[in-house]
Structure 1
Amino acid sequence: MKKNSTIEKATAEDVIGIASLLSWAFGFSKVRSREYIANIGLETLRLIRGEDGRPVVCAGLLQTAHVFHRKPVKAANIVHVAIAPEWRGKGLAVPFVDALCDEAKSNGAAIATLFASTRPVYRKAGFELAGHEIVYEAATAALPSASRLAFDRVELGDPRLAVAYGAKMLAESGLLERAAAHWNELRRAPTDALAAYLAEGEAAYLILDMGNEARLEVRDWFAASPEAALGLLSFLARFRSVYPAVRWHGAPQDDLVAAMPDKGWRLAHQEEWLLRVLDPAAALRQRGYHVDAARLALRIGEAPPLEIDIRAGKAEVGEAAGASGAAFSVQPTAFAQLFTGFRSAAKLAQYGLVSGDSDDIRRCDQLFAGPPPWVAEHF
């Protein structure tokens, strides 16, 4: 098979083959593989076939957006890239991901994101570290119990949960504008062990997975204020007689951690997601910024410099006129980190990945300032 083999959309006849790839690559059971395919939708799956016509490479391509400073940047999540064991190490991953990025860009995505099992491979495809996935764990006995915020059980598909998540999304940096596939995965089996709870005044919500005796898993959560975060933790404390620990996805500067006592919690897992900028001008135009007015000429690698002109908080981006020698310059490998706020211009300058005068570096730090980027799920 050649590296430039045709990328095809999956069909119903491919389900068995794709399920096998997911099992071999990620240890999915047959039931879990079929559930996953149903959750993200067969229409999102792309594959390469072997000479016998069976899938040997597959991945999902999900249309979504990541939010930066309250504005969504159109994106594609490349999810669960699976390669048959006998085809690994043959250089298929990079051209396959390149083709997925081309399709994503043709569909309007300005950025593409993924989690990488082998970072060097995806760096060859132009991806770079861009944000965090963090899982915290706390002993339920250590949770505060001072609050009596009332929670009611609601249906998993209650639309108020999505509305509340929208408020959380705008307050953070990097969170997904979730598509149906993301919500489907949050509500995945075992559904009989799942329950959703919504606080009075919609100040907080929880989606709890009670299927693991070792710990209580928070699939999703939101707290609108420090008081709501305390109330959410106090509600979780009611499970202390059954579960010794509780886990949740959170931010690097996490609201639930801030509401915890100094002790009783720990970092259970940390991983970074990667981003490739497909259309720099569109990506810069779509994201929000920390300043209301600024102008910066920005050169990415050897490309012609772009001028970012922000007025009243809205960005206009076009080719810079007469600024080719004076533009703030950033290496392509560092641009993704700068764009999401994963690393500041000042820090990237220390690594020799950006160049410019001190005023430009300071202006760039102001432009891309904000909460550290993260995602609330593993996609």
Structure 2
Amino acid sequence: MFRVLRHEGRPAGCAAVWDMPQWFGGRPVPSRAVAVVTVETAARGAGLGGALMGAVLREAHTAGCALSVLYGATLPLYARLGYARAGSAVTYGAAPAVLARGPTDGLRRLDPLDADLLAALRQREARTGNGLAERGEAQWTLLLKPGDEQAADVYVADGPDGPEGYVAVRPPAERRLTVVDVCVHGHRAAQRALGFLAGYRAQVDRVTWPGGPEDPLVHLAADTGVAIDGWEEWLARVVDVERALAARGYPAGVEGTLVLDVADPLLPHNHGHFLLKVANGCGQVETLHDEEQADVVLPVAALAPLYTGHLGAAALARMGLLQGSEAGIAMAAKLFAGPRPWLAERF
């Protein structure tokens, strides 16, 4: 969907928006992705970009979204609107020989339009990580068969109890193999994926793939030599504090309460004190109206990296982005602990 901003009776800016739930703490959180934010050159400097994005955020709140996520070409505009760096997107690269020393069992070819099996495997990974998107049919189609481009070749690693992973690759070009998506569960599936990619050594000099901070192909590669070929941070903004805190999951075995004093000059419903009670991996949230003493005080922009796990409470406190008692900071660190957040998608 596109949103168009009109100025003096004519289109002056636009943004693409779509719903893209993201997984945090083992649960999907309603999130709205934003891309292609553009303001007409002649109209720049008049505050139209901020007006457009403000309208996008208010619409996202009305639609029931808890978060907004985007890749920003420039940080200052989005920082003024309450966005902050909240996760990463990494492209790894290596020579094929680095990945595996010998052949492994083959993988089964799969129709790239048969996304149900792939989605089930990806969701297993999303449940144990932070930040991964819940892809709909359109997202799977765009990833595996975009426009007029040749469809990706998809291969599945089968195990004794069913599929354990998959690898989707573009046909080799210019001595390079591009993995558009990969997901493996367990040592056996990872080794089979590595062996499959290493098998291209006669055709390519380099293999690249998207992955997270704890990528299994990196850590199980047969030799040193895997490098980061590309790294980018995505930005997130909490659109609805109460909804966001209640929607995500929390670490198993951790219980506690935390009063957050959040400052949000753009979205008044986010401004104030929120009581978070966590038990059995779930959070209950209450908006407080009596201004109870807060355990932590922070702007809405600092809440985004705390929420996603991109930055811990202690790190935010060291930067002066979060204030609180020693006990409050420690509790925030416990409640929001988890894997570093990442996205496989770039948009």
The TM-score, its normalising length taken from structure 2, stands at 0.90
2:189 corresponds to which letter in structure 1? A
Q: Kindly indicate whether the alpha-carbon contact (under 8 Å) linking 1:128 and 1:333 is maintained by their aligned counterparts in 2.
A: yes
Counterpart in the other structure of 1:235: 196
56-65 vs 227-236, greater mean Cα deviation: 56-65
Report the Cα offset of residue 279 of structure 1.
0.6
Q: Determine helix, strand or coil for the equivalent of 2:125.
A: helix
Report the Cα offset of residue 327 of structure 1.
2.9
Residues of 2 paired with 1:167 and 1:326: CA distance?
Answer: 36
User: Which string of whole-angstrom CA distances, capped at 9 and with x for unpartnered residues, describes residues 61-87 of structure 1?
Assistant: 111211101111111000222334343
Which of 177, 196, 204 lines up with 1:216 in the alignment? 177
Q: Determine helix, strand or coil for the equivalent of 1:349.
A: helix
Which of 242, 245, 249 lines up with 1:284 in the alignment? 245
Which of 24, 28, 31 lines up with 1:75 in the alignment? 31
Counterpart in the other structure of 2:119: 162
Q: Kindly indicate whether the alpha-carbon contact (under 8 Å) linking 2:24 and 2:131 is maintained by their aligned counterparts in 1.
A: yes
Residues of 2 paired with 1:325 and 1:123: CA distance?
Answer: 27
Residues of 1 paired with 2:157 and 2:118: CA distance?
Answer: 10
Counterpart in the other structure of 1:183: 140
Residues of 2 paired with 1:167 and 1:294: CA distance?
Answer: 27
- Looking at both structures, which has the greater relative contact order when contacts are Cα pairs under 8 Å and sequence separation is at least 6? 2
Residues of 2 paired with 1:299 and 1:205: CA distance?
Answer: 44
Report the Cα offset of residue 263 of structure 1.
1.4
What's the RMSD between the two structures over aligned residues?
Answer: 2.0
Which of 154, 158, 169 lines up with 1:196 in the alignment? 154
Report the Cα offset of residue 181 of structure 1.
3.5
Q: Kindly indicate whether the alpha-carbon contact (under 8 Å) linking 1:305 and 1:327 is maintained by their aligned counterparts in 2.
A: no
Counterpart in the other structure of 2:296: 328
Q: Kindly indicate whether the alpha-carbon contact (under 8 Å) linking 1:304 and 1:324 is maintained by their aligned counterparts in 2.
A: no
Q: Kindly indicate whether the alpha-carbon contact (under 8 Å) linking 1:284 and 1:315 is maintained by their aligned counterparts in 2.
A: yes
Residues of 1 paired with 2:34 and 2:294: CA distance?
Answer: 36
Residues of 2 paired with 1:104 and 1:117: CA distance?
Answer: 21
Instruction: Sort the Cα spacing of 1:323 and 1:196 in 2 relative to 1 into closer, same or farther, 3 A.
Output: same
Residues of 2 paired with 1:164 and 1:259: CA distance?
Answer: 19
Report the Cα offset of residue 320 of structure 1.
3.9
Q: Determine helix, strand or coil for the equivalent of 2:30.
A: strand
Residues of 1 paired with 2:168 and 2:123: CA distance?
Answer: 15
Instruction: Sort the Cα spacing of 1:339 and 1:333 in 2 relative to 1 into closer, same or farther, 3 A.
Output: same
Which of 97, 115, 120 lines up with 1:141 in the alignment? 97
Give the percent of matched residue pairs that are identical in Structure 1 and Structure 2: 32
Aligned positions of 1:11-22 closer than 5 A: none
Which of 293, 315, 319 lines up with 1:347 in the alignment? 315
The TM-score, its normalising length taken from structure 1, stands at 0.83
Instruction: Sort the Cα spacing of 1:324 and 1:106 in 2 relative to 1 into closer, same or farther, 3 A.
Output: same
Aligned positions of 1:88-127 closer than 5 A: 88-127=44-83
Counterpart in the other structure of 1:258: 219
Q: Kindly indicate whether the alpha-carbon contact (under 8 Å) linking 2:155 and 2:168 is maintained by their aligned counterparts in 1.
A: yes
Q: Determine helix, strand or coil for the equivalent of 2:17.
A: strand
Q: Kindly indicate whether the alpha-carbon contact (under 8 Å) linking 1:114 and 1:274 is maintained by their aligned counterparts in 2.
A: yes
Residues of 2 paired with 1:225 and 1:71: CA distance?
Answer: 21
Counterpart in the other structure of 2:283: 315
Q: Kindly indicate whether the alpha-carbon contact (under 8 Å) linking 2:92 and 2:230 is maintained by their aligned counterparts in 1.
A: yes
Count of matched residue positions in the alignment of Structure 1 and Structure 2? 335
Q: Kindly indicate whether the alpha-carbon contact (under 8 Å) linking 2:259 and 2:293 is maintained by their aligned counterparts in 1.
A: no
Q: Determine helix, strand or coil for the equivalent of 2:60.
A: helix
Residues of 1 paired with 2:223 and 2:328: CA distance?
Answer: 39
